[in-house]
Amino acid sequence: MREIVMPKSSMTMTEGELVKWVVAEGDEVQAGDPVAEIMTDKVEMEVEAPEDGRMGILVEAGLTVSVGTTIGVILAEGEQVPATDAAMPPDSPAGDDRAGAETSEASPSGPADGPGAEDGRRGSDGRLRASPAARKMARNRSVDLTTLRGSGPKGRITTDDVAAASGPGTHPEPVAPQSDRDGPGGGGQRERPTGVRGAMARRMSAAGSIPQFTLFSDVSFTAAERARRELSMAWGEPLSVTHLIVRAAALALGDHGELNAHWVDGGIERFADVNVGVAMATDAGLIVPVLRGAQKADLKITSRRVGELAQAARLNRLRPDETLGATFTVTNLGAFGIDAFQPVIDPPQVAILSVGRMRGDPGRSVTFGLAADHRAVDGLQGARFLQRLGHLIERPDTELLR
């Protein structure tokens, strides 16, 4: 038997969401076949079968579990799926529902001829097959799991089975008071963000503890815009404002390494390579692919590589290594008519740059917003970085355009 676990795809990742299974319980799979899609703290990715065998599913799709949690197994001939809880660490989000749930699980010492004994719904240890989420819902709604027939794999009881047994509207889930929802009239809905948006929510929750400050600076793009159009025509391929800014930021970070850093365990970790994360809007939510070694790439290579990352992000084909290791982030909302905005740092990075729209005032100006972690960067360092960035844009020369 070979376990399939929730992988750790980055230094800061502690949990991931099992988005869906792409194979069913009992399916024959071969090593390298995709078996599940998960959402890490950065990107949605596939999990592959580690060897040939038969698929065993331990965690239902839609749950968020800790890194290292066993979500499934590859079974050899004659092997059976283990009891669900045995595969889950006690501190996992799914596993922590076990406390106090044994009364609703029908323990091995219970009556052998009780409900469920005759239809194969119990594991080899006699425990009733039920998802952790189903057990929690059953406790909240006072539903006896032993009276249910599960609709999941091998008769496993799911939250849908518990909801059906408790009756429509009999035991509603807790909701906010009317005054906390949407005012008189009601009709509000509450949902847990999942997928890309769920990952973003978890990362931004961590950002709330950062003592960040933000500096704003207006920069003229008159010369840079002229150069951009000329190069686009000469190359026969598009060169965007974002491409110019990513290139300029990489050069400026080379001169101001204090912003090309992470805050880790109470200390500053600076990097030789400049890895620029470029925030991109997709149908699934905000994705931040990373241009690694950006200080080494000329403008043409920067343009092509950012374009390739954008295409992969739109098609949900980014590899995990293309979303990891950013040392600085650029986020551009200019295309949406936003003049200026305060960005939020993505930890453990210590800085992020926001870009507004190009305005039609004299100078074709754009507002940059630099948010920085005050534990690692002071206001003067941030101002000097913005000054260098503005100089590169307003006076584009061979350094920026080569």
DSSP string, 82-94: PPGGGGS-TTSTT
Higher pLDDT, 116 or 160: 160
- Give residue 12's pLDDT: 61
Same fold, 2-166 and 211-401: no
List all residues 6 or more positions away from 50 whose beta carbon is below 8 Å from its beta carbon. 2, 4, 31, 74
Give the residue among 351, 199, 330 at the shortest CA–CA distance from 263: 351
Tell me what the pLDDT averaged over the chain comes to: 81
Confidence at 336, pLDDT banded by 50, 70, 90:
very high
CA-to-CA dists, residue 163 to 98, 99, 150, angstroms:
19, 21, 12
Q: Please tell me what DSSP assigns to residue 331.
A: E
Contact 370, 353 (CB under 8 A): yes
Higher pLDDT, 112 or 121: 121
pLDDT tens-digit series, residues 49-98: 999 999 999 998 888 888 889 999 999 988 888 865 434 443 434 443 33
Region 134-144: mean pLDDT is: 76
Can you tell me the distance from the alpha carbon of 230 to that of 302, in angstroms, rounded to the nearest whole number? 17
User: What residue ranges do the domains of the chain occupy?
Assistant: 2-166, 211-401
Q: Please tell me what DSSP assigns to residue 134.
A: H
Contact 289, 278 (CB under 8 A): yes
The number of helix segments (H) and strand segments (E) in the chain equals 8, 18
Pick the most confident of 94-103, 243-252, 306-315, 319-328: 243-252
At the top level of CATH, the class of 2-166 is mainly beta
Side-chain-side CA neighbours of residue 52 (13 Å): 1
Percent of the chain with pLDDT over 70: 79
Can you tell me the distance from the alpha carbon of 50 to that of 58, in angstroms, rounded to the nearest whole number? 16
- Give residue 122's pLDDT: 65
Which ranges in 264-367 belong to alpha helices (H)? 299-314
pLDDT tens-digit series, residues 158-186: 777 887 887 654 444 444 444 444 555 55
- Give residue 273's pLDDT: 96
Nearest-Å Rg of the Cα atoms of the chain is 26
- Give residue 154's pLDDT: 66
Region 219-245: mean pLDDT is: 94
Low-confidence winner among 23-32, 120-129, 235-244, 337-346 (lowest mean pLDDT) = 120-129
- Give residue 152's pLDDT: 73
Q: Please tell me what DSSP assigns to residue 208.
A: T
Contact 328, 353 (CB under 8 A): yes
Q: What is the topology classification, in CATH, of domain 211-401?
A: Chloramphenicol Acetyltransferase (3.30.559)
3-state secondary structure of 1: coil
